[in-house]
Amino acid sequence: MLVFSAMGSEESVVVKKNSVLTINLKTNIIDSPTEEQKGLFGFSDKNKSILIYDAIEAINKAKTDDNIKGISIEADQLTAGITQIDDLRNAIQDFKKSGKFVYAYGNAVSQSSYYLGSVADQYYLNPSGMIELKGLATEVTFYKDFADKYGIGIEVIRHGKFKSAVEPFLRNDISPENKEQLSTLLNDIWKNTSSRMAVSRKIDTAQFRTIVDSLYGMIPDLGLKYKLADKLIQKTEYDQLIKSKLNLKDDEKVNKISLGKYVASYSDDEKSGDKVAVLYASGSINGGDNYNDIHSEQYIKYIKDLQNNDKVKAVVFRINSPGGSANASDEILFELQQLKKKKPLIVSFGDYAASGGYYIAMAADKIYSEPNTLTGSIGVFGVIPYFKDLANKNGIRADIVATNANSQYYSSLNGVTPYGVSLITRSVEGTYKRFVHFVTQNRKKTFEQIDNIGGGRVWSGTRAKQIGLVDELGTLNDAVKFAAQKAGLKSSYTVSSYPKRMTPFEQIFKDFNEDDISARVVKSKIGKANYEILQQIVEERKLQSEVKMEMPYQIKID
């Protein structure tokens, strides 16, 4: 019954007259098909999860669609990354040139949701609502004292004073270098976002800073007084206001249509002819073969398929990754280099393109970054945990019998031998040199120039453009247009997404195991952000002895 119900026909969508394109709580903006939110048994709703590329195209289409009279933003909590919100905001700003209205309404509004909603012509807030406008902050957790207390040894090898992914295991406070890069990053991102909110709301920059510092948005009357909102009204009154705007009669209903359903009303995945392929790479980079995240075996298949597909004339590689395995990153880069020999390869950065995520971009003909993309982090590290002191305190010890001098260079009970440390250090240094080598080739700079801006440091997209780590500041849509131009394509080309979304039948049987179901249950209970923190603590891959190219943290505008 589950199989046949999941494989049922798609609901046809018709856009009615006097419709309002609506961005609401059900709108889940994703960067890649692999990020689709799924229920307990793996089923997803395409009308709720929408690719950022499709969302932008939908807003652009709505601008000239006579059936769409305006946009209503009704999202208190927005499921989207900072660069995705930037792109949505830009598209809505352009939509306003049509003369159609853009209204927004909120109850308990998160900072990211207000960042999007502030672009509206009018912003309405519930009389007992609030806007959590507070700026950006980060909190770094340290484990060194905990490890020392309980006898857990952690051997760390890294290249780059800014490679702070391992800092929590080495110190019990933040280093000056890490504090410097975090402060620069946060201020870059906040400068971009806060200035845009202030301009949209017609608030002086100095006054806007006072509003944020004082948390005035938390009190609805103060939010109204200081122009964060235009009026305090109930949701029913807001809907009536839209009805009046559309000149509807009392017995007529406002036709609200979500972004997802609007895309479904006109999209056609089976179009023929020349194509620009967008290959999405979202999540951590690992070895192996899996649909979620970026697994090298799976992506090698994708890349080879695109290389051999004659209908695909150009490829845009969309990266939204903080990095991961150095080996897996290297495998993916090699295959992309082969692809580039046959057709144009343009790279577009999402929220993250750091460490391994930056490394795999080094085959690109051209790199587009968003202003708020976290990029760079050109550095390498290895972390090796061992439990000798903890074991000894509890009456456990181990002796080693081996055939060769370094048969047991590492043991979870006895740690790493001095020769093992020196060998891993050579591996880290060699990987770093290989990393910088590919960057010098792509960015046309010397080793010294890249080393000076490398060392594991993470930059905003704006600064990455200034120091030459990327070519242009632009959206995924900009990258697609350039790829088509480079391939000599005109308006007749279509855009195809890879990997393809899984069919309901595939969702049932792919990774349908006890661990996968348990993970979904936990994630649904504690939320995606908390689940990611839990993964960092308990997953073995975070403490493997494998050499890593991984960014130390994530930054969310919430």
Q: Where does the pLDDT of residue 43 fall: very low under 50, low under 70, confident under 90, or very high at 90 and above? A: very low
Sheet holding 255-258, edge to edge: 231-232, 122-131, 101-109, 68-74, 19-24, 255-258
Confirm if 336 and 298 have CB atoms less than 8 A apart.
Answer: no
Residue 238: inside a domain, yes or no? yes
480-506: pLDDT as tens digits:
999 999 999 987 899 999 998 655 444
**159-195 burial by CB neighbour count: b if 16+ within 10 A, else e?**
bbbbbbbbbbbbbeebeebbeebbeebbebbbebbbe
Residues β-bridged to residue 125 = 106, 232
Phi-psi region of 42 (alpha: psi -120 to 50; beta: other; left: phi over 0): left
Residue 327: pLDDT band with limits 50, 70, 90:
very high
On the CB side of 375, CA atoms within 13 Å amount to 35
Mean of pLDDT values over 390-407: 83
**Domain-located, residue 287:** yes
User: Do residues 489 and 377 make contact, with C-beta atoms less than 8 angstroms apart?
Assistant: no
Domain shared by 417 and 488, yes or no = yes
Residue type, 332: I
In this structure, the answer to whether residues 259 and 314 fall within a common structural domain is: no
- Does residue 106 contact residue 117 with C-beta atoms inside 8 Å? yes
Residue 155 covered by a domain: no
Full DSSP string of 168-202: HHH-SS--HHHHHHHHHHHHHHHHHHHHHHHHHTT
For residue 178, which of 210, 143, 140 has the smallest C-alpha distance? 140
**Overall average pLDDT of the 79-84 stretch:** 89
pLDDT of 518 > 70? The answer is no
- 406 within domain boundaries: no
pLDDT, tens digit, for every residue of 180-196? 888 999 999 999 999 99
Residues 357 and 457 in one domain: yes
pLDDT in tens, 431-472: 889 999 999 999 999 999 999 998 788 999 999 999 999 999
Q: Which residue do the tokens 């594991």 mark?
A: 456
Residue 95 lies in a domain: yes
At 411, list the tokens: 């043991």
Query: Does residue 220 sit in the same domain as residue 350?
Result: no
What average pLDDT does the segment 301-324 reach? 95
541 Cβ contact list (under 8 Å, min separation 6):
284, 286, 324
Q: Are residues 122 and 253 in the same domain?
A: yes
Quick one: which of 284, 353, 270, 285 has its CA closest to 317? Answer: 353
Least confident among 43-47, 84-88, 380-384 = 43-47
Query: Are residues 325 and 289 part of one domain?
Result: yes
The Cβ of residue 359 has, within 10 Å, a number of other Cβ atoms equal to 28
Domain boundary among 224, 244, 264: 264
Higher pLDDT, 41 or 303: 303
In angstroms, the CA 74 to CA 71 distance is 10
pLDDT at 7: 46
With tokens 């085959």, the residue in question is 363
Residue 42: pLDDT band by 50, 70, 90 thresholds? very low
Please report, for residues 12, 54, 86, 87, the alpha-carbon distance to residue 93 in angstroms, rounded to integers and kept in the order given. 29, 17, 10, 10
Is residue 54 scored above 60 in pLDDT?
A: yes
Three-class SS state of 514? helix
pLDDT above 70: residue 292: yes
Give the domain range for residue 454.
Answer: 275-380+413-550
Query: Does pLDDT of 344 surpass 50?
Result: yes
Cβ atoms < 10 Å from Cβ of 139 = 5
Q: What is the pLDDT of residues 190-244, one digit of tens each?
A: 999 999 999 999 999 999 999 999 999 999 999 999 999 999 999 999 999 999 9
Confidence of residue 540 (pLDDT cuts 50, 70, 90): very low
Residue 79 DSSP one-character state: B
- Are 427 and 542 found together in one domain? yes
Higher pLDDT, 483 or 516: 483
- Taking residue 259's Cβ as centre, other Cβ atoms within 10 Å add up to 26
CB 456 within 8 A of CB 160: yes
Q: Are residue 346 and residue 445 in the same domain, yes or no?
A: yes
- Total domains in the chain come to 2
Highest mean pLDDT among 34-43, 82-91, 169-178, 423-432: 82-91
Alpha-carbon span 197 to 217, nearest angstrom? 13
Whether residue 153 is contained in a domain is answered as: no
Distance CA 500, CA 394 (A): 52
How large is the average pLDDT for residues 65-74? 96
CA 34 to mean position of chain CA atoms: 12
Q: Are residues 256 and 362 in the same domain?
A: no
Quick check: helix, strand or coil at residue 430?
Answer: helix
- 460 assigned to active site: no
pLDDT at residue 64 above 50?
A: yes
User: Taking 70 as the threshold, does the pLDDT of residue 4 lie above it?
Assistant: no
Residue 332: pLDDT above 90? Answer: yes
- The rounded distance, in Å, linking the Cα atoms of 205 and 190 is 12
Residue carrying the six token digits 């692809």? 339
The mean pLDDT value of the chain amounts to 85
Tell me: do 461 and 426 sit in the same domain: yes
From CA 225, how far away is CA 218, in angstroms rounded?
12
Which of the listed residues 207, 241, 264 is the one where a domain comes to its end? 264
In a domain, 65, yes or no: yes
Asked if 240 and 342 sit in the same domain, the reply is: no
Could you confirm whether 49 is annotated as catalytic? no
Question: Between helices 52-62 and 82-95, what is the axis angle to 10°?
Answer: 10
Residue 293, amino acid = D
Query: How many Å apart are CA 482 and CA 455, to the nearest integer?
Result: 31
| Ranges assigned E (strand) in 135-181 | 153-159
> 528 falls in which pLDDT band (50, 70, 90)?
low
d(CA 348, CA 449): 23
Residue ending a domain, among 264, 295, 328, is 264
Convert the pLDDT of each residue in 352-364 to its tens digit: 999 999 999 999 9
How far is 552 from 165, CA to CA, in rounded Å? 4
pLDDT at 546: 63
Q: Which of these is catalytic: 321, 329, 355, 496?
A: 355
Indicate whether 239 and 331 sit together in one domain.
Answer: no
pLDDT tens digits, one per residue of 84-142: 999 999 999 999 999 999 999 999 999 999 999 999 999 999 999 999 999 998 888 88
Q: Annotated catalytic residue: which of 46, 163, 275, 548?
A: 163
Task: Give the CATH number for residue 293.
Answer: 3.90.226.10
pLDDT at 165: 65
Highest mean pLDDT among 31-35, 301-305, 515-519: 301-305
Lowest mean pLDDT among 56-60, 323-327, 486-490, 511-515: 511-515
> What percent of the chain has a predicted confidence (pLDDT) above 90?
55
89 falls within a domain: yes
pLDDT at 508: 47
